[in-house]
Structure 1
Amino acid sequence: MPIASLSRLISLSIHTKQSKIFNLQFSSVSSADKFFTLLEKKQSNIEKTLALVNAKLDPNCVCEVLKRCSFDISLSQISLRFFIWAGLQSNCRYSSYMYNKAAGFLKIKQNPFLVLDVIKAYRMEKCSVNLKMFKVVLNLCKEANIADEALLLLRKMPEFNLRPDTTAYNVVIRLLCEKGDMDMTHKLMKEIGLIDLYPDMMTYFAMIKGFCNAGRLEEACELFQAMKGQGFSPNAVTYSVLLEGICKYRSTEKALELLGEMEKAGGNCSPNVITYTSVIKSFCEKGQTIEALRILDRMEACQCVPNRITVITLITGLCTEGHVEEAYKLIDRIAGRGVSNSDCNSSLVLALIRINRLNEAEKLFRKMLVSGAKPSGIACSTMIREICHEGRVLDGFCLYNEIERMQYISSIDTDIYSTLLVGLCRQSHSVEAVKLARLMLRRRIRLEAPYVDEIIEHLKNSTDKELVTQLSRIAS
């Protein structure tokens, strides 16, 4: 094909695509204009009039209408009614993202009684109301995290001769669980059975998680057993929620028992890395890190690879309890299997610093640099900071230069520069201080506020007056 013809073809294709995008945007805006103009009239029983509007309705159009209405507080209720009506139309289904956007435009969190005012307006105007309309409003409550208003909505359904279904109950139960009102959620769960409904997996999961978060483990365990008795098979997520609660509030023996149950069940009940790490963390927090290593054995036997959190938890626990040699052995055992050698050793450096074994930590850190292993950003920053706190600022500066030479400098906290610079100034290492100050200027790194005056005063003695001026400008 000739070049000129090919260029015309590409140009035509781009123009066509741009035209389609423009037409789509224009269509949404035009539709939004029509709906918004109608809403501004604030008519009663607006739903009947909305159905007569000859305009394309889709989530983009709904968002545009809500956005415009959000600038006029007097349109709050009518725009909510528009959102509810639109959500019932076959060509306008809402996603969680859409509910989240709508809750923001409607300011449901700031004005939670709006959802109740709308229901009151429906009743006063004798509007036809169905269960789907209530569900739209309940989903808004879920996004805005307003539990009390969601419960009141549930209680108002019978006023319209409507009966909530399990899905509606689940929204309210989940919100109340997150609020911590487990007595009310328990009451609602009993209520479900009284009206010939049945709790589903979502109901049980929300309740079990709520009881665990509230520290009411006996009730969580009873509900877990009741769930299995009803024929529901718990998955790894449900087991993990219960296990996390047990680890937090009860004995490690009970945690091991439940972990064994998961391992025995297998399949989608098999414990994952989060499950095992939760149990390991529980043992470490109780000062039983050596026992936690046995959980690692079980983990590996089930071909579950530890992650960075698992390793940090174990290394920190071992060092805190004085089992430093075991920490080294652990790294030899697991480095490179899911967690890099650099991450393992960085964790050990930090753990050694926490137990005041700075010399050993520094030795390990320098060994990492020599071997080409990249220490984590927090390990680099903490190492330099601790050396400076010991009064060895020049050593800290030299270590900084080593890290820079290895091109690991981007991971260092910006406050380290000010710590180094003020230390160099106080110990009269003027050449190094000027060098670091110039580097900070090149990288636009600001001086930390507490040190500005002291550093500026010291650098005034240098021959580079322009350096002092420029450094003053970028001070925090």
Structure 2
Amino acid sequence: MYRGKRYNDAIALFHFFFNQSNIVPNIVSYNYLINTHCDESRVDVGLEIYRHIIATSPFSPSPVTYRHLTKGLIDAGRIGDAVDLLREMLNKGHGADFLVFNNLIKGFLNLENLDKANELFDEQVFGVDGVVNATFMDWFFNKGKEKEAMDSYRSLLDRQFRMIPATCNVLLEVLLKHDKKEAWALFEQILDNHTPPNTQAVNSETFNMMVNECFKLGKFGEAFDTFKKVGTNVKSKPFSMDVAGYNNIIARYCENGMLSEADELFRELSSKSLTPDVTTHRTLIDAYLNLERIDDALKIFNRMVDVGLRVVASFGDKVFTELIENGKAVDCAKILKKMGDKDPKPDASCYDVVIRGLCNEGELDPSLDILAEMVRYGID
């Protein structure tokens, strides 16, 4: 509910589970509740929940709690209160979380207070992390201070510490945002450092950013090469691409009308131990329908149902409607019947679309069969 920005529903569910039903919440549940209130500009309510955790819970607030609250306070223009909360975090012995520091550093930079940002940067006791450097770099770039930005970047690299993928990705994002060729050098470097199981230097998001940059520049062939790229170090190993990585490049190919390339990667993904998910199928179905490749859309839609992936009502209504408009009402009825054989059952709106389509085509017997199925399943 939180991710869907259905904040009132998120709060209601918390109340239902943890107040009415007497389930004991954990810190993750509390953090989502705090984040919900902060995103709704109710940071004081978030602080009340934080105080409630301290007073009544057998566990302590987590670093994530302080990340949400400091960001909420800064967004509300209360950076002084955010600094006080940072001090409270440290005084309680929770440890210095670099993302909490990063929130405050970014806040002071946005207030043009470079001295205070530097003071906090020097105060860090958690060691080196490129996320904070990336914040400074982005601010310097936006101010037209390229030398200072790159000095910050090089000082980070000079420390030669082992960066996790999340840190590398933030640095790549800033370098790409400001059109710096150093992004590609960093990509090559972290590919060289990718030596699992000892060192995981990249993840699928790393590849997604670089692939997307290739597409942005119109370098479609280079995008595929980047997707398959491996480090040159003798110990480097290929990254085992996940479904999210395949989905990204398939989506980029579809956006550019390159369906044959998307098809090839879909087949490759299907042949692996990975499984194409809802996003994979929806991306291809939408692309086929946009290009009026109706039979191909029908084929993938059939596959989506056959492998047991859920078809939500809004998507099902849209696809059924477009297929029926192209003379595929009977085929849609067959797909809907397969959907009805599984749980959760299709939404009533899907049945309505297909029955109307069958009636309009004079296919009354199949429409009666579908109607009987609705009755059998108790679908209104």
Is the pair's TM-score, using the shorter chain for normalization, greater than 0.5?
yes
Deviation digits for residues 349-404 of structure 1, max 9, x if unmatched?
Answer: 443223332233335656x59xx962744599364332123354344224433x34
Name the SS for the 1:255 alignment partner. helix
- Answering whether residue 305 of structure 2 is matched by residue 305 of structure 1, we say no
Contact kept, 8 Å, 2:320 with 2:350, in 1: the verdict is: yes
Matched, 1:235 2:168: no
Higher helix share: 1
Offset at residue 302 of structure 1 (A): 3.2
Alpha-carbon separation, structure 1, partners of 2:260 and 2:123: 59
- Alpha-carbon distance between aligned partners in 2 of 1:149 and 1:138, rounded to the nearest angstrom: 19
1: distance between equivalents of 2:129 and 2:208?
Answer: 26
Q: Report whether the alignment pairs 1:422 with 2:356.
A: yes
Structure 2, unmatched stretches of 5+, are 1-18, 20-25, 49-59
C-alpha separation between the residues in 2 aligned to 1:237 and 1:308? 18
Q: Is 1:208 the counterpart of 2:139 in the alignment? A: no
Equivalent residue for 1:174? 102
Q: Equivalent residue of 1:298, what SS?
A: coil
Q: 1:138 to 1:321 in 2, by over 3 A?
A: closer
Paired letter, 2:237: C
Deviation at 1:337, TM superposition (A): 2.3
Q: CA deviation at 1:438?
A: 3.1
Between 1:423-432 and 1:303-312, the stretch displaced more is 423-432
1:275 aligns with 2:206: yes
Q: Residue 388 of structure 1: which of 306, 324, 330 is its match?
A: 324
In the alignment, what sits opposite 1:352?
288
8 Å contact 2:214–2:222 — kept in the other structure? yes
Partner residue of 1:11?
Answer: none
Mapping for residues 262-341 of structure 1, pairs under 5 Å: 262-267=190-195, 268=199, 270-299=201-230, 302-340=237-275
Overall identity of the aligned pairs, in %: 15
Q: Alpha carbons of 1:294 and 1:185: their partners in 2 closer, same or farther (altered >3 Å)?
A: farther
Q: Does 1:437 align with 2:365?
A: no
Structure-2 change in CA distance of 1:139 and 1:187 (3 Å): farther
Instruction: Note if contact 1:205-1:238 (Cα within 8 Å) is conserved in structure 2.
Output: yes
CA shift for structure 1 position 325: 3.0
Which amino acid letter does the alignment assign opposite residue 386 of structure 1? E
- Using the TM superposition, give the Cα deviation of residue 208 of structure 1 relative to its aligned residue in structure 2, in angstroms: 1.9
Secondary structure, counterpart of 1:330 in structure 2: helix
Q: Distance in 2 between matches of 1:327 and 1:157?
A: 48
| 1:113-154 deviation line (CA, Å, top 9, x unaligned) | 9979xxxxxxxxxxxxxxxxxx98998664433224453463
CA change 1:313–1:183 in 2 (3 A) is same
Q: How many Å apart are 1:259 and its aligned residue?
A: 0.7
Deviations 1:154-178 (A, max 9, x none): 37999xxx99999669575333467
Deviation of the 1:242 alpha carbon: 1.4
Tell me the secondary structure at the aligned position of residue 335 of structure 1: helix
Q: Which amino acid aligns with 1:265?
A: N
How do residues 72-91 of structure 1 correspond to structure 2 at under 5 angstroms? none
The aligned residue for residue 52 of structure 2 is none
Indicate conservation of the 8 Å contact 1:236/1:271, yes or no: yes
Name 2:54's counterpart in structure 1. none
Question: Paired residue for 1:154?
Answer: 83
The 1:185/1:115 distance shift into structure 2, 3 A limit, reads farther
The amino acid that maps onto 2:206 is T
Provide the rounded CA distance (Å) in 2 between the counterparts of 1:263 and 1:97: 33
Partner of 2:287: helix, strand, or coil? Answer: helix
1:400 pairs with 2:333: no
User: Is the CA contact 2:105–2:120 (under 8 Å) kept in the aligned structure 1?
Assistant: no
Q: Residue 321 of structure 1: CA displacement?
A: 3.2
In structure 1, C-alpha distance between the alignment counterparts of 2:344 and 2:310, rounded to whole Å: 8
Query: How many angstroms does 1:277 deviate by?
Result: 2.5
CA contact (8 A) 2:134 2:174 kept: no
Separation in 2, partners of 1:360, 1:137: 49
- Preserved CA contact (<8 Å) 1:244 1:278: yes
Looking at structure 2, the residues matched to 114 and 294 of structure 1 have their Cα atoms a distance apart, in angstroms, of 47
Q: Secondary structure at the match of 1:237?
A: helix
Q: Distance in 2 between matches of 1:139 and 1:321?
A: 39
Structure 1 residue runs without a partner (length 5+): 1-66, 68-94, 117-134, 446-473
Q: Would you say the 8 A contact 1:201–1:232 is kept in 2?
A: no
Distance in 1, Cα, partners of 2:91 & 2:365? 80
Q: Is residue 2:120 matched to residue 1:189?
A: no
Letter of the 1:317 counterpart: R
CA–CA distance in structure 2, aligned partners of residues 156 and 333 of structure 1: 50
1:122-133 equivalent positions in 2, closer than 5 A: none
Q: Give the CA deviation at 1:422.
A: 3.0
Structure 1 equivalent of residue 42 of structure 2? 110
Q: What's the CA shift for 1:260?
A: 0.4
| 2:149 is the alignment partner of 1:244 | no
Distance change (3 Å), C-alpha of 1:360 and 1:231: closer
Asked if 1:362 is matched to 2:274, the reply is no
Task: Note closer, same or farther for the CA distance 1:272–1:169 as it changes in structure 2 (3 Å cut).
Answer: closer
1:405-438 per-residue CA deviation (whole Å, 9 max, x = no partner) reads 8x56747565322221333344554443333233
Q: What is the aligned length?
A: 323
Q: Deviations over 1:50-90 (max 9, x none)?
A: xxxxxxxxxxxxxxxxx9xxxxxxxxxxxxxxxxxxxxxxx
Structure ID, larger Rg = 1
SS at match of 1:146: helix
Q: CA-atom RMSD, angstroms? A: 5.1
| 205-214 vs 309-318, greater mean Cα deviation | 205-214
